[in-house]
Structure 1
Amino acid sequence: MLHDTSSNIATKAGFVAVVGRPNAGKSTLLNWLVGEKLAMVSKKAQATRKRMNIIVMHENAQIIFVDTPGIHEKERLLNQFMLSEAIKAIGDCDLVLFLAPAKDKLEHYKKFLELNAKNRPHIVVLTKIDEVSQEALLAKIAEYQAFQDKFLALIPVSVTKGVGKDQLLDEITKHLPHSPWLYDPELLTTTNIREIYKEMIRESIFDNLSDEIPYETDVIIEKIDELPHLDRVQATIITEKKSQKMIIVGKGGSTIKRIGRDARMKMEQFSQKKIYLELFVSVKSGWSKNKKSLSEIGYNFD
């Protein structure tokens, strides 16, 4: 067995992909497990677009969770990139958590089994159990028992009620390989500050704009000046149409100011610094359907 260099305790470490349909509760679960607001959370589906590593220390284990876009299929090139991110995470990890809201039918799980071509070991996590009765929950668990030869464990959780956290982390730890820790145990994520700030601005766009506009926007961090007590951030919101730009800016700049205020609060809470944020809006027609444009924004197809 390998050991942590600071003690004689055998250590474990591994990557755990967190997958499920859009709005299954992946980012909410991860923020709950790590105890910090790191992953983007939105009531709108398909908000997460790229993988993000979130590190949780549990007893002798370092669990590197990989937050992924929701498993879905659409023709738009950006959506194809998002699906490929989820599939790559499944193939590259040591363990998979499949998140299944308690109200869901089993079709999403069956789709996951098809995508899990390498037969990575997985745990089924029943989320949002506070939204169903005890009787309905037991019935859903019984439905999954027909697939018990496919998964390692089935664990019900409720972030709202604070149920299942230790049981889930204990079960994950059981199945991780023995290994030295792969990262400094003080780290919460391997994602750089530029990507974190980008996601916080994107989340504010989702929170403040309705309908399809958030899906046709993205954010480019143009510049960050990191000072001891202040970060100066310049960012551009990319959108598809001039009409969308007008909505994002709002009358007298009211909407863009609201987005900026919300984003700045999120960024300050995370960084524990003052944030000076400048937001601009630019029209880039067809960016979500063009591989070159996607690559320029940071969505690289291998």
Structure 2
Amino acid sequence: MFNQGKEDTRAGFVAVVGRPNAGKSTLLNYIVGEKLAMVSKKAQATRKRMNIIVMHKNAQIIFVDTPGIHEKERLLNQFMLDEALKAMGDSDLIIFLAPVTDKLTEYEKFLALNEAKGTKHMIVLTKIDHVKQGDILKKLGEYQKYQDKFEAIIPFSVNKKVGKEQLLDEITRHLPESPWLFDPEILTTDNIRDIYKELIRESIFENMSDEIPYESDVIIDKIYEEDHIDKVYATIVVEKETQKGMIVGQKGAGIKRVGKLAREQMERFAGKKIFLDLHVSVKKGWSKNRESLEEFGYIV
């Protein structure tokens, strides 16, 4: 353990869940102060769990970023829902993100899913900068009928910088007394390969429309890490030849755009130059095929 000899420390896993696009990754990146979790305006951008470590006073909080809770459709979606459910069951506490404009039906679905697991939870009311103060108070009132179910409800705004300290204090109160579980200097248990993959995927989400982001994935073929530069060779995998053509674009304009944004984000994260070599390959029906999903690390 990393803090033996220190007294009264706490540590634990906190699953961050909610519907797709509830603001999970935005909230986590703001709390940790780094670009770690994938952020996209498109729903269901996050596919796998990711641990993000935040040190707060005497506590080590290991946030688990999860895919949005949604109905099962194809195999990949089933994997994503299973990832969220596993995180809920494995954690000491759940943070349920509820955009202030949402009806309570999403929260009621979450309560039904969590009933068997029985993990205690808190509600974070997100996107409060989009509405008037009276609307926030009204929504807080609506949640009061479930007040015996949750530990706390906290209004939160990344844009207005409201709620961060209160949220971290409240989480700390509910974590078990424990030595820290990870080196306090690290921000995530994910390796650099996984982070670079997610940053390339985010660039695809930002630069491509329609079904391409949902039917594509990224394989990091090779990384050469040097002091002043990382050389990254990666393949974007899509399901159809037409999708490959759209990503490559006229005279390579599409893949250049994807590569430029990805490289900028990777350099910001790594704090050094990135050489990024991107290719596109077609693997028909990969997101609906169990063996292909396992190859990409999605064990269904």
Q: 1:74 Cα deviation (Å)?
A: 3.5
**Secondary structure of the structure 2 residue equivalent to 1:87:** helix
Q: 1:223 Cα deviation (Å)?
A: 0.6
Q: 1:276 Cα deviation (Å)?
A: 0.7
Q: Deviations over 1:20-41 (max 9, x none)?
A: 0000000000000001000000
TM-score by length of 1: 0.97
Distance 1:261 1:128 in 2: 30
Runs of 4+ that moved beyond 3 A: none
Matched, 1:109 2:115: no
Q: Deviations over 1:142-170 (max 9, x none)?
A: 01000000000000000010000000000
Q: Any unmatched runs of 5+ in structure 2?
A: none
Distance 1:257 1:146 in 2: 52
Does the CA-based 8 Å contact 2:69-2:84 persist in structure 1? Answer: yes
**Secondary structure of the structure 2 residue equivalent to 1:189:** coil
TM-score by length of 2: 0.98
Matched, 1:65 2:57: no
Letter in 2 for 1:222: D
**Secondary structure of the structure 2 residue equivalent to 1:160:** coil
Does the CA-based 8 Å contact 1:216-1:288 persist in structure 2? Answer: yes
Distance 1:8 1:189 in 2: 23
Q: 1:8 Cα deviation (Å)?
A: 3.8
Question: Which residue of 91, 94, 99 corresponds with 2:92?
Answer: 94
Matches within 5 A, 1:111-150: 111-116=109-114, 117-150=116-149
Q: Deviations over 1:198-249 (max 9, x none)?
A: 0000000000011111111110111111111111111100101000000000
Distance 2:3 2:250 in 1: 57
Describe the shift of the 1:220–1:3 C-alpha distance in structure 2 as closer, same or farther (beyond 3 A). Answer: closer
Question: Which residue of 41, 44, 48 corresponds with 1:43?
Answer: 41
Matches within 5 A, 1:206-225: 206-225=205-224
Does the CA-based 8 Å contact 1:4-1:10 persist in structure 2? Answer: no
Letter in 2 for 1:176: L
The Cα RMSD (Å) is 1.1
Distance 2:291 2:165 in 1: 44
Q: 1:289 Cα deviation (Å)?
A: 0.4
Which residue of the partner structure matches residue 54 of structure 1?
A: 52
Does the CA-based 8 Å contact 1:241-1:284 persist in structure 2? Answer: yes
Does the CA-based 8 Å contact 1:3-1:179 persist in structure 2? Answer: no
**Secondary structure of the structure 2 residue equivalent to 1:99:** strand
**Secondary structure of the structure 1 residue equivalent to 2:98:** strand
Distance 2:72 2:149 in 1: 27
Does the CA-based 8 Å contact 2:2-2:184 persist in structure 1? Answer: no
Matched, 1:79 2:77: yes
Distance 1:229 1:297 in 2: 29
Distance 1:118 1:210 in 2: 37
Describe the shift of the 1:262–1:3 C-alpha distance in structure 2 as closer, same or farther (beyond 3 A). Answer: closer
Does the CA-based 8 Å contact 2:2-2:182 persist in structure 1? Answer: no
Distance 1:300 1:284 in 2: 18
Describe the shift of the 1:236–1:45 C-alpha distance in structure 2 as closer, same or farther (beyond 3 A). Answer: same
Letter in 2 for 1:159: V
Matches within 5 A, 1:127-276: 127-276=126-275
Matched, 1:279 2:278: yes
Distance 1:162 1:211 in 2: 33
Describe the shift of the 1:75–1:8 C-alpha distance in structure 2 as closer, same or farther (beyond 3 A). Answer: closer
Letter in 2 for 1:225: Y
Percent identity, please.
70
**Secondary structure of the structure 1 residue equivalent to 2:11:** strand
Q: Give aligned pairs, total.
A: 299
Q: Deviations over 1:44-93 (max 9, x none)?
A: 00000000000000000000000000000132100000000000000000
**Secondary structure of the structure 2 residue equivalent to 1:80:** helix
Distance 1:70 1:249 in 2: 29
Letter in 2 for 1:270: F
Does the CA-based 8 Å contact 1:3-1:11 persist in structure 2? Answer: no
